[in-house]
Amino acid sequence: MKSGNSALIAGASGLVGGECLKLLLASDAYTEVVVLTRRDLGAPARHRKVRQVECDFASFGDVARELRAKHVFCALGTTIRKAGSQAKFREVDFEYPNGIADITLRNGATHFSLVSALGASRASPFFYSRVKGELEHTLRAMGWPSLCFVRPSVIVGERTESRPFERLAEHALRFAPSTWRPVAARDIAAAMVATALRSPPGTTVIESRDIPRS
């Protein structure tokens, strides 16, 4: 590991993950950014700070030694519609983040930041929110020195994939109370990076209404 702060990001090809990667690369606080990805990211992976690690997310053990960084950012996520089933959704939104957290903690990471969701709770009657809550509970039990859960409402930004339901929700909630109002991906990423640099002990939960807006 190089001197200075190092970061690992999973989900850099997504909306929040992409914004997080931009911030990490632009920050003088980070000298290395490990990008965990299923396929070549292209131009961003050529940045002087980036060390790209390609793997099948179902086989993290194959690259465990390469997953070393001080701060870990997890922005993995899908929808049940895109995943095709609840089981596949759980694999992406619970098993993959859990596996990354377990490996990076054992490799010496000190801070883990997760894009969770508004209403995340193990007691939720909604499958999506329940899985997010189960993941938060599991990560807390790992004993991370510093842990951050960001729970956004609808996330807005320029997506590379079509998510018509989220577009509809974005327009419908634009003038809703702050708890439900859509939040920009760049603001979520900024909150994650700022918290990681502080690395407050224990667990920090940032609800959607409390995410600073740019």
How far are the Cα atoms of 3, 36, 37, 79 from residue 45, in angstroms, in the given order? Answer: 20, 10, 10, 26
Model pLDDT, residue 193? 98
Q: Has 2 been annotated as catalytic?
A: no
Asked whether the beta carbons of 208 and 38 are under 8 A apart, the reply is no
Q: Running DSSP on this structure, what letter comes out for residue 208?
A: G
CATH architecture, range 5-209: 3-Layer(aba) Sandwich (3.40)
For residue 125, what are its two tokens? Answer: 């009657």
| Averages of pLDDT over each 10 residues, the chain, 214 residues | 79 95 96 94 90 90 94 94 94 96 97 97 96 98 98 80 53 54 93 98 97 89
The model's pTM is 0.89
Q: Has 128 been annotated as catalytic?
A: yes
Q: Which of 30, 49, 70, 132 is catalytic?
A: 132
